[in-house]
Chains A and B, each alone.
Chain A
């Protein structure tokens, strides 16, 4: 394995982001090739966390663009600060400046409200990490617009002219696959799929994030979560849920898992009523022992 990849893995680990070779390799390539990284996977496996930890590891700024239905270029790129412009016009009324001068003044950069995309490409000192979160929630038109920005890292504002990135941001896109992204966008990106973690990896994550929890308990609770993921639930618990549950058990000062404690706290990792019912019947059937027995 290359030194650089090992370094990335080590740096992320220091941010308590436990990762595997696939994540580290993809991040290394994305940085080395200057390509955006598209991260997909089920909800709650730490897709967003990849970008956050990367920014922390590189000690650079994280610029986050949260996508939603109806997100448009104005909210993502830039807007003019109308009220400031109006005030400025008012103040300028008494001066002898010509109309052209006044116009030039109000369409200068100080009247520009930078939104995430513009902010990411105008960073002066070093490359920030640009996180485009849940890109599948945005509309297809926005996707096309995004493609344009991501291929050139240049934005043209009619009144000012083109603005080109001085430091190209590292771009991470995440998607929950609620909608299929276009092939064009997929092709522009390197691809990374993050699945639910294996038992060992998840245990390591719990240990890293919640160090106060006892070793035996963390192993047990991880086993239960791993078993729950196999139960064909409507809402499969992610790593975030595992951590919530671990924190809850710690707060309750639980020493050992038993059916009562699990039933009381199951709401931490099961967020659907039908799932809860299903899980309770499983618990009632005495499946807990089976879940807790260390399987290979």
Chain B
């Protein structure tokens, strides 16, 4: 052991290091600082790798923290061991840590910002992805159109998605179901069973509320005209899917693609990175946007390709502006078919938020008779209102 008494210099350095980490967005409270100091007493301080690994274990709490930690550790180490100076070589392990560096030099909570920067950035005709507005007052943030959203406000969208997901997940039915062990005793069944043992209750029966198994199917238009919105809405869907298992996600422009698996079981950035690399490959709907939008055929393709996904316990959400280059009759027929099987059909249209908007687009006109809820989705307020529609 290097010494059970921590040297004062080391203590100051460690506290400064912790503070620097905190300033860079890591969750490092005094409790972590104490752990860090305790850690340093337990290890061999002459071993750079060991110090690095130990402090990383104590002071980071997610892999996204690693790049920041690694950079700041350099400073800490050079202060701790001035004799090595800056010539200290990065060891193999810190190289490993660099591998998990998740694109963009930007650090944590920047998932959405990252997404917006990288989404289809190689697409032709994409001059400026999104204009981040200047300072915005809190009051009008809820009313601000998504197309004007800056990175910070996008975090709010993700938060909202999680809240809605939680509500969907915890949706107890009025019916009961018998369970082996549960919160409530099922008196009727217990008494009934006791007849076998001559009226003596030996084994208890339990019951609990059934869970409503609502499923969500989101079909998102990613064509050129929806560009600004679809990035954001897919982000919203990612948030939903992240905290609620029964979400299926599709994107379409001229063809339909299921992207559920691409959003699943991954960290924020990983999923988005994967999506944005895939979406630039030929054959992906995102690339077919120049050919116009074929809503009708896309929905028909969904109907025939994934019939099992939709039943009376399913809420289908279509996110589109209704600018369809296909035949309105085809759209109407496919929507009617979908409506027949789905519990609820919601059409969210970002353009509807504009005060002067009338659903005069031919496609939209054809679609209206088959839709349960036709709502705007262009700002946070409309996203919040969506919450109450998501109940069957």
Contacts from A to B (Cβ < 8 Å): 1-2, 5, 20-22, 25-26, 28-29, 32-33, 35, 37-38, 40, 43, 69, 72, 74-75, 79, 82-83, 86-87, 90, 176-180, 183, 186-187, 189-193, 195, 198, 232, 234-235, 272
Contact = CB atoms under 8 A, between A and B. Distances in A.
A235 B66 CA distance: 24
Among the interface residues A43, A72, A190, which one has the most CB atoms of the partner chain B within 10 A? A190
A82 to B, nearest CB: 5
B100 A183 contact: no
A35 B183 CA distance: 32
B93 A86 contact: no
A186 B278 CA distance: 32
Nearest to B51: A25
Interface stretch (B31-39, B228-236, B286-294, B317-325): B31-39
B35 to A, nearest CB: 7
Closest 8 pairs between A and B when the two form their complex, measured CB to CB: A186-B61, A25-B53, A193-B63, A26-B57, A190-B57, A234-B261, A82-B204, A2-B44
B303 interface: no
B185 to A, nearest CB: 8
Nearest to B262: A234
B382 interface: no
Contacts of A191: 56-58, 60-62
Interface string B114-128: 000000000000000
Contacts of A87: 202
A46 to B, nearest CB: 16
Given A22-B53, A74-B181, A180 B242 contact: yes
Interface string B369-384: 0000000000000000
Interface of B: 27, 29, 31-32, 35, 38-39, 42-44, 47, 49-50, 53-54, 56-58, 60-63, 66, 93, 96, 99-100, 169, 181, 183, 200-204, 242-243, 245, 261-262, 264-267, 274, 277-278
Contacts of A74: 181, 183
Contact of B32 (A37, A187, A235): A187
Contacts of B56: 22, 191
Nearest to B211: A70
B93 A22 contact: yes
Contacts of A32: 42
A176 B50 CA distance: 26
A83 B62 contact: no
Nearest to A274: B261
Contacts of A179: 242-243
Residue of A43, A87, A187, A189 ringed by the most chain B CB atoms within 10 A: A187
A232 B58 contact: no
Nearest to B96: A195
Nearest to A74: B181
Given A35-B35, A187-B27, A187-B31, A21 B63 contact: no
B369 to A, nearest CB: 36
Given A186-B27, A186-B62, A195-B99, A43 B53 contact: no
Contacts, number: 107
A90 B58 CA distance: 55
A33 B96 CA distance: 26
Contacts of A1: 44, 47, 49-50
Contacts of B267: 177
B265 A21 contact: no
Given A2-B44, A40-B63, A187-B29, A86 B202 contact: yes
A29 B38 CA distance: 10
B75 to A, nearest CB: 21
Given A26-B57, A83-B202, A177-B265, 16 more contacts: A2-B47, A26-B53, A74-B183, A82-B203, A86-B201, A86-B202, A90-B200, A177-B266, A177-B267, A178-B264, A187-B27, A187-B32, A189-B61, A190-B58, A191-B57, A195-B96
Nearest to A272: B261
Nearest to B170: A139
For A43, A82, A272, the residue with the greatest tally of chain B CB atoms inside 10 Å of its CB is A82
B61 A183 contact: yes
Given A187-B32, A232-B278, A272-B261, A29 B203 contact: no
Given A25-B57, A186-B27, A190-B57, A69 B262 contact: no
A178 B242 contact: yes
Contacts of A33: 35, 38-39, 42
Contacts of A20: 93
B39 A29 contact: yes
B127 to A, nearest CB: 28
Nearest to B43: A2
B32 A29 contact: no
